[in-house]
Amino acid sequence: MLEGFQPVARIEELPPGEAKVVMVNNREIALFNVDGAYFAIHNLCPHEGGPLCEGRVKGFVVACPWHDLAFDIRNGQGTDGGGYCVGSYDVRVEG
């Protein structure tokens, strides 16, 4: 295993088009599988804490299920100009 990375899920637990929440260092991380590419962002929307893993994903953008704020799951940047962003994390697939 590479330094700084932690095993959090098995590939078969996250089929294409799905999202899953994992805990890493007491932080909720949302994992997304978009057509076999994996992405990880902080799960809680910075607006009011909505669970991003439950949001609608279109392409590489997830919309918060509470108020529709949208974030690019590749880098955590907000896509609707409000200045919001979420943490994004590198993902490694091993094995």
Q: 2: pLDDT confidence band, cut at 50, 70 and 90?
A: very low
The overall average pLDDT reported for the chain is 92
Q: pLDDT at residue 42 above 50?
A: yes
Question: Across the beta sheet with 37-42, what order do the strands follow?
Answer: 19-24, 27-34, 37-42, 88-89
CATH hierarchy code of domain 11-89: 2.102.10.10
Please state the domain extents for the chain.
Answer: 11-89
Q: Residue 32 pLDDT > 90, yes or no?
A: yes
Residue 56: predicted pLDDT = 97
How many other C-beta atoms are found inside a 10 Å radius of the C-beta of residue 29?
24
Question: Residue 38 half-sphere exposure, CB side, CA atoms within 13 Å?
Answer: 19
Mean pLDDT of 4-31: 90
| pLDDT number for residue 95 | 67
